[in-house]
């Protein structure tokens, strides 16, 4: 088994003790590969997505390096800057930093758009060790003179590919231009598209390169099924599926904001309490919904892809693709919301006739057929041959739902064993240090 421990990676006792509190038993592969180089102060280019443990991979070395090197706190100055594409991801990183750094004396703050600036300005007024920020709000605050970036020692760009997709490239470049050239730079991206390579070439100095291939791995842990269904029956099928007791906590993906709203409303009318999260919701609405989902008060979350990106909620038992994504990579991001940190999960895709080409594209990408589930009330009577391969696959594969009941059974455990320790019963992150209002 894995001989590598957090201790052997060079982390100090303060951090080790926080990791014990978190219930992390051993480093994930990305952590094992990343932490020693980052502790040495090297630049790093990491290819990894959410779910691999990448946050701790960069946060732990930052905490250790900053605590080793005492620095005078200067008003509005920042020592380590972590830039993330969305508010949700920024807040999650901040919560992780708080949890891992709970026994350090370091200070932190988190700034993002969509909420008032005043508390954020106040949080950084005396200077902070670690600032997590979305690009737009950071530049906004810098323009106001509320934050100084000329003391930054370490910068992390997290989910850089997403930042590029969202059109933040110019903001990112402006931020880089504002921080000292003498610095440690870390770039994480789920993909290594050309734009990312070009950015990496300009901002990293002799970087260590690490990559984990979580996509196949994640896919392996997830029990996938596709249900062929008429478009008009999709909603009824989803209701039928969600009424199953085994669906303890589920995300339903819809392609559009409007579609997500309508779906959440009609599910609620059917007695399935659900709420939608997407970019048109206010920050306070999104926070409220996410809290309810995380705390188990909301069993079903309907989300668009952008809103769901980076959502890290434990124990999501099911992901339902109500609409198929247009980009096959998105399928992997979506179903990766379940099967977090080595746990297993179930992903069910509802596919109408128009969407079959999208399903084929996904199957080509993941290099496997998604098994067809026929035991449901709205199964399509497809002509022989039409789904020949997929049917063959379904026969040979696992059929979890023989009795015509709603999706029975809890996610099976993966045969190959989890890649890293579970954290069952571990307390969730609490905010420490100098967050807002602290
Ligand atoms: P991330 O990829 O950073 O979003 O992390 C995904 C999830 O894995 C989070 O819930 C972390 O708390 C959890 N996690 C990170 N590192 C470990 C570890 N070494 N052992 C167990 N869980 C971990």
> What mean pLDDT comes out for the span 335-362?
85
Ligand 1 centroid distance, CA of 188 (Å): 15
For domain 217-409, the CATH class is: alpha beta
* Residue 42: pLDDT over 70: yes
Please indicate whether residue 24, judged by its CB atom, sits closer than 6 Å to ligand 1: yes
Domain with CATH 3.40.50.300 in the chain: 13-215, 217-409
Is residue 27 in contact with ligand 1, taking CB distance under 6 Å? Answer: yes
Residue of minimum CA distance from atom 15 in ligand 1: 53
pLDDT tens-digit series, residues 103-137: 999 999 999 999 999 999 999 999 999 999 999 99
| pLDDT digits 0-9 by tens, 232-270 | 999 999 999 999 878 889 999 999 999 999 999 999 999
* Lookup: tokens for 298: 């909301």
As a whole number of Å, the end-to-end CA separation of the chain is 42
The whole-angstrom separation of Cα 83 and Cα 163 is 9
Supply the DSSP symbol for 151.
T
Q: Which has more confidence, 433 or 19?
A: 19
Cβ of 51 below 6 Å from ligand 1:
yes
Q: How far is the CA of 287 from the centre of ligand 1 (A)?
A: 21
282: Cα within 13 Å, side-chain hemisphere: 5
Query: Is 342 close to ligand 1, i.e. is its CB under 6 Å away?
Result: no
Nearest CA to ligand 1 atom 14: 53
Q: How far is the CA of 289 from the centre of ligand 1 (A)?
A: 22
Residue 213: per-residue pLDDT: 62
Asked which of 51-60, 226-235, 249-258, 341-350 is least confident by mean pLDDT, the reply is 341-350
pLDDT level of residue 215 (50, 70, 90 thresholds): very low
Distance of CA 348 from the midpoint of ligand 1 (Å): 24
Question: Closest ligand 1 atom, CA of 422?
Answer: 21
**C-beta 28 within 6 A of ligand 1:** yes
Q: How far apart are CA 129 and CA 16, in angstroms?
A: 20
> Is 421 near ligand 1, meaning CB less than 6 Å away?
yes
Query: So what's the architecture of 13-215 in CATH?
Result: 3-Layer(aba) Sandwich (3.40)
Q: What is the mean pLDDT of residues 171-181?
A: 98
Q: Between 214-221 and 356-366, two packed helices, what is the crossing angle to 10 degrees?
A: 110
Q: Whose CA is nearest to atom 16 of ligand 1?
A: 53
Whether the full predicted model's pTM is greater than 0.75, yes or no, is no
Pocket probe mutation, ligand 1, options 59, 312, 341, max atoms within 8 Å of Cβ = 341
Closest Cα to residue 153, out of 171, 123, 129? 129
């Amino acid at each position: 088994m894995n001989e590598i421990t957090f201790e052997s990676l060079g982390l100090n006792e303060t951090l080790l003790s926080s990791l014990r509190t978190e219930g992390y038993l051993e480093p994930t592969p990305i952590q094992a590969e990343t932490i020693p180089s980052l502790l040495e102060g090297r630049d790093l280019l990491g290819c990894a997505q959410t779910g691999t443990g990448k946050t701790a991979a960069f946060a732990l070395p930052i905490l250790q390096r900053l605590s080793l090197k005492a620095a005078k706190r200067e008003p509005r100055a920042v020592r380590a800057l972590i830039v993330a594409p969305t508010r949700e991801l920024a807040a999650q990183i901040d919560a992780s930093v708080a949890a891992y750094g709970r026994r350090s004396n370091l200070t932190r703050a988190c700034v993002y758009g969509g909420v008032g600036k005043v508390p954020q300005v106040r949080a950084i007024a005396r200077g902070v060790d670690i600032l997590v920020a979305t690009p737009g709000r950071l530049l906004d605050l810098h323009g106001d003179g509320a934050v100084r970036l000329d003391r930054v020692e370490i910068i992390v760009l997290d989910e850089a590919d997403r930042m590029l997709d969202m059109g933040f490239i110019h903001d990112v470049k402006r931020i880089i231009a504002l921080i000292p050239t003498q610095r440690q730079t870390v770039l994480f991206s789920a993909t290594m598209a050309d734009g990312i390579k070009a950015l990496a070439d300009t901002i990293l100095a002799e970087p260590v390169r690490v990559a984990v291939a979580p996509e196949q791995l994640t896919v392996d842990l997830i029990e996938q099924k596709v249900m062929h269904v008429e478009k008009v029956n999709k909603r009824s099928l989803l209701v039928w599926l969600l009424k199953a007791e085994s669906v303890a906590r589920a995300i339903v993906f819809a392609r559009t904001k409007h579609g997500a709203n309508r779906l959440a409303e009609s599910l609620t009318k059917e007695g399935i309490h659900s709420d939608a999260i997407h970019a048109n919701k206010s920050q306070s609405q999104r926070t409220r919904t996410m809290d309810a989902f995380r705390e188990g008060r909301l069993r079903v979350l309907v989300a668009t892809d952008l809103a769901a990106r980076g959502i890290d909620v434990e124990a999501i038992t099911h992901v339902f693709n109500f609409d198929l994504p247009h980009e096959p990579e998105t399928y992997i991001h979506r179903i990766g919301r379940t099967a977090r940190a080595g746990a297993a999960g179930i992903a069910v895709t509802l596919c109408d006739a128009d969407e079959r080409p999208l399903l084929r594209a996904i199957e080509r990408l993941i290099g496997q057929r998604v098994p067809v589930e026929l035991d449901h009330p709205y199964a399509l009577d497809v002509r022989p041959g039409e789904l020949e391969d997929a049917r063959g696959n379904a026969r040979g594969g696992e059929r979890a739902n023989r009795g015509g009941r709603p999706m029975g059974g809890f996610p099976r455990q993966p045969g190959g064993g989890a890649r890293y320790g579970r954290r069952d019963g571990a307390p969730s992150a609490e905010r420490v240090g100098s967050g807002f209002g602290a």
